[in-house]
Amino acid sequence: MIKRSLLVFAALALGYSLFLHFTRVDWDTTQHLANGNRIKAERFAFDDAADGGTVIIGSSLAYRLALDSFPQGTANLGFGGLSVYDGLELIRRSGRKPKRVLVETNILFREPDRAFLDALFQPGLYQMRRQLPLMREENQPSGVLFGWMKQRFLAQRSPEAAGDSSAGPSAVMLNEHRAKYAELPADSTQARFADMLASGAQALEQQGAEVIFFEMPIEAELEASRLAEGARALVKARFPTHRVLRAGPDGWRTTDGLHLAKPDAARFSGWLAREAGPR
């Protein structure tokens, strides 16, 4: 009985591996936010071509950045619910050596999630996922099926239905963000985060990477808040000679005060790609 079960398992695993190899799944297999974060992290860690390229690191604000305008092979490590420190640590632990790193500065006072990367780099499993694509997060059968169905559904929708219908930020979410952005961490906490950011940037620069800071557009009243001003002051004080990119007011629309609506995220992506280009 056990032998038969093992043979069936081996046959299914082999069949699915062949399916992945010949089908070349190129649709989005993301099922939820944490799953999407893991897919991004694995793709970056397992992609040898990431060396010498451009990497974007940030929070969920950078998650929607479109890569069409950036150099081919650019990786977006904007992680939903996580921080820039998770992206910096991923680069370090993966051993990747990017040429240019764009660091989002909107959310600098959020603790890194150690468990996120510990799970990715778990000894044994990490090496197996690297060698066996069927074990990777993006190749989960449920995700592949869900992504295929989603792709077919979107292809059948009219352009009007597929457009972004956001008429403005959610009032409930905007009120929550107002309260959070009115507070600034203690000086000692700010200093600790500044040290973490400086350490990560220095490690990248010692490998020859250019570090560029950028700020995602948010609602004007939040841009003028104590928290946002504090983050800008931190970057200016610790990185006075670095490039810091901030788009001017241009009618940017958000869905909740912080996250850009899709059309605006695409428009900002084009702006950022141009401004962050080599000089």
CATH code assigned at 232: 3.40.50.1110
**Domain annotation covers residue 206:** yes
**Domain annotation covers residue 39:** no
Write the pLDDT tens digit of every residue in 124-170.
999 988 888 877 888 777 666 666 676 667 666 654 444 554 567 87
Helix axes 187-206, 84-94, angle to 10 degrees: 30
**Domain annotation covers residue 172:** yes
Residue 268's domain spans which residues? 47-132+166-275
Token digits for 155?
Answer: 């292809």
Output 8 or 256, whichever has higher pLDDT: 256
Bridge partners (DSSP) listed for residue 55: 75, 101
**Domain annotation covers residue 30:** no
3-state secondary structure of 55: strand
The domain total for the chain is: 1
The label of the residue with tokens 């000894």 reads 123
The label of the residue with tokens 């009985």 reads 1
**Domain annotation covers residue 35:** no
Helix axes 226-238, 171-181, angle to 10 degrees: 50
**Domain annotation covers residue 180:** yes
**Domain annotation covers residue 261:** yes
**Phi and psi of 186, rounded to 5°?**
-60, 155
**Domain annotation covers residue 157:** no
Output 141 or 234, whichever has higher pLDDT: 234
Bridge partners (DSSP) listed for residue 210: 100
When mean pLDDT is compared across 32-36, 212-216, 232-236, the lowest value belongs to 32-36
